[in-house]
Amino acid sequence: MNRELIVRSSSQSVDFALLKDGKLTELHKEENSNDFSVGDIFLAKIRKPVTGLNAAFVNVGYEKDAFLHYHDLGPQLSSMLKFIKQVSTGKLKDYSLGNFPFETDIDKNGVITDVIKANQSLLVQIVKEPISTKGPRISSELSIAGRYLVMVPFSDRVSVSQKIASKEEKDRLKRLVRSIKPKGFGVIIRTVAEGQKVAELDKDLENLLNKWTAMCKKLHRAQTPSKVFVELNRASSILRDVFNDSFTGIHVDDDTLYNEIKDYVSEIAPEKESIVKHYNTNVPIFEKFGIERQIKTSFGRTAAMSKGAYLIIEHTEALHVIDVNSGNRSNKAKNQEDTALEVNLLSASEIARQLRLRDMGGIIVVDFIDMVKPQHRKRLFEHLRDEMKDDRAKHKILPPSKFGLIQITRQRVRPEMNIKTTEEDPNNAGKEVEAPIVLIDKITADLEKLLKGPAKDNSISLNIHPFIAAYITKGFPSLRIKWFLEYKRWIKIQPRDAYTYLEYRFKNKDGKTIY
């Protein structure tokens, strides 16, 4: 399995595309104006606690106040407030927490007005970016993420990622981390730490402590609200979270970003530094790697799959609904149950990809094709669960209901990736049609059905608008030549001036429309 990260830079934003064996699996956009990214830490001021919500609205500098629930305060809130007060006034200059006297944990079922007051300053971390009309969601239980470890100030707990299956490895990692962990800091051991030696873990932990110290130095005389800790830029954070030995290429079209990423990779995996390459040709980088085409065909209301099957994805304020359709695909399955299983398994893989690609969060309801056999429903559930193992967002999948529905909850920490895939209709001003590149995929899929279906036609002509006809026939190798090499049949292309831009018909030798 090959993984590649493609980075495209512009004056307004930086786009990151993660490819898995050439297929687009994740797409991220980092806006230059985004001052409230997940992981950023602010010295903020309490606007007002609200007893009815058991929460407080906090001024972090955004146009809408951030929301802080009591359960997001963290058990060591009293210790943190005491620490902030002493550091801000200059009374405390030792940020190690080793000799800092901790306060008693707050009651986990307490009332917010008992622990914080209006105009009080505290450190908060962005856990959900501003979405729609809502301000950012925050937590005062801080964490600073590294390559192998996540450091949690004002804690003493050591925990290990559940994705590490071996009990022996978990015990080994816990033992190593406890031997190097400074007092007053908890540690979460990440999945990528599996198999690592103590020297690598110690180096990562030392780096996190340096970040903590640098942040604490900013607290002295800092104004509220102000950002005191900046999460890694999106490129480095993606590499930190997903980078592994399967990465075969990182391609960047910007000099500055190229140097930043190369330095970061040389730090976390020196043996992989050579895979970072500066892309510098006339063809746009997303076009070169086929990403633009995949974006156009993946972000519409309909997501096509192989052999004619497709998904319909609808959005509401509260949830997302995905409908699985087999289409009029030709298949060699013996019965309807086998067809349903085949389409459902194919759809499960595409759904797992779509959730990551669009970064869909909240409640997702998937209407799979009904299957009678319990073993088939179980196989579908296990397959979907396996396909979503690589998803970094927290999620939960419920087994299929009696109606064939599968419910998924997926963590939403930033606005959903929403890309416009329709274009203005050249035949009808004011209306929009799907992108022409989607039309080519539809024509190819329909052609495959005609040539591989049970009633194969020996002579087929494609009647189509002259512009599209030119696209199919020009160049070498043209799309028509590719069809010939694939299907061993020569397709006659007949331009039709009377056709609208996206209209097409397949006809037989007698001139009758067959599709």
Distance CA 80, CA 500 (A): 67
Answer whether 0.75 is exceeded by the pTM: no
Strands 247-252 and 276-278 turn out to be parallel
What is the model's pLDDT at position 514?
Answer: 80
Distance CA 40, CA 395 (A): 23
User: What pLDDT, in 10s, does the model give residues 155-208?
Assistant: 889 999 988 889 999 999 999 999 999 999 999 999 888 888 999 899 999 989
* Residue labelled with tokens 């800790």: 229
Distance CA 507, CA 460 (A): 6
At 166, give phi and psi (nearest 5°).
-70, 125
* Residue labelled with tokens 């540690």: 187
Assign 361 a pLDDT band (cuts: 50, 70, 90).
confident
263's CB contacts (< 8 A; 6+ apart) are: none
What is the model's pLDDT at position 430?
Answer: 67
CATH 3.30.420 segments of the chain: 3-34+232-288
Assign 368 a pLDDT band (cuts: 50, 70, 90).
very high
Look up the CATH number of domain 300-410: 3.40.630
What is the model's pLDDT at position 453?
Answer: 63
More confident residue, 491 or 475: 491
Cα distances (Å, whole numbers) of residue 295 to 17, 187, 199, 299, 440: 10, 38, 42, 6, 14
Assign 458 a pLDDT band (cuts: 50, 70, 90).
low
* pLDDT tops 60 at residue 33: no
What is the model's pLDDT at position 159?
Answer: 93
User: What pLDDT, in 10s, does the model give residues 381-422?
Assistant: 999 999 998 888 889 999 988 778 999 999 876 666 666 666
* Residue closest to 4 by CA, chosen among 208, 252, 199: 252
Topology, domain 3-34+232-288:
Nucleotidyltransferase; domain 5 (3.30.420)
Burial 116-151 (b: 16+ CB within 10 A, else e): beeebbbbbbbbbbbeeeebbbbbbbbbbbbbbbbb
**How many CB atoms are located within 10 Å of the residue 394 CB?**
11
Assign 348 a pLDDT band (cuts: 50, 70, 90).
very high
What is the model's pLDDT at position 323?
Answer: 93
- Phi and psi based region of residue 345 (left: phi greater than 0; alpha: psi -120 to 50; beta: remaining): alpha
Structure-block tokens of residue 487 = 């299907």
Distance CA 417, CA 355 (A): 10
Q: For the chain, how far is it from start to end, CA to CA, in angstroms?
A: 38
Strands 121-128 and 41-50 turn out to be antiparallel
171's CB contacts (< 8 A; 6+ apart) are: none
| % of the chain residues with pLDDT over 70 | 90
Structure-block tokens of residue 314 = 């609808």
Mean pLDDT estimate for the chain: 84
Contact 42, 123 (CB under 8 A): yes
**DSSP state at residue 95:** -
Q: Residue 12 class from Cβ within 10 Å (0-12 exposed, 13-18 middle, 19+ buried)?
A: exposed
User: Is 40-229 CATH 2.40.50.140?
Assistant: yes
User: What pLDDT, in 10s, does the model give residues 239-263?
Assistant: 777 777 778 899 998 887 888 888 8
CATH 3.40.630 segments of the chain: 300-410
More confident residue, 303 or 123: 123
Rounded to an integer, the average pLDDT of 475-498 is 87
Name the E strands within 399-515: 405-410, 422-424, 432-434, 461-464, 492-495, 504-507
CATH 2.40.50.140 segments of the chain: 40-229
Rounded to an integer, the average pLDDT of 76-97 is 88
Distance CA 394, CA 382 (A): 17
User: What pLDDT, in 10s, does the model give residues 122-141?
Assistant: 999 998 888 777 788 899 99
What is the model's pLDDT at position 223?
Answer: 85
Contact 268, 147 (CB under 8 A): yes
**DSSP state at residue 339:** H
Q: To 10 degrees, what angle do helices 374-387 and 336-358 make?
A: 20
What is the model's pLDDT at position 174?
Answer: 93
Q: Point out which residues pair with 506 in neighbouring strands.
A: 462
Q: How far is CA 400 from the centre of its chain?
A: 24
Structure-block tokens of residue 336 = 């309807």
What is the model's pLDDT at position 456?
Answer: 61
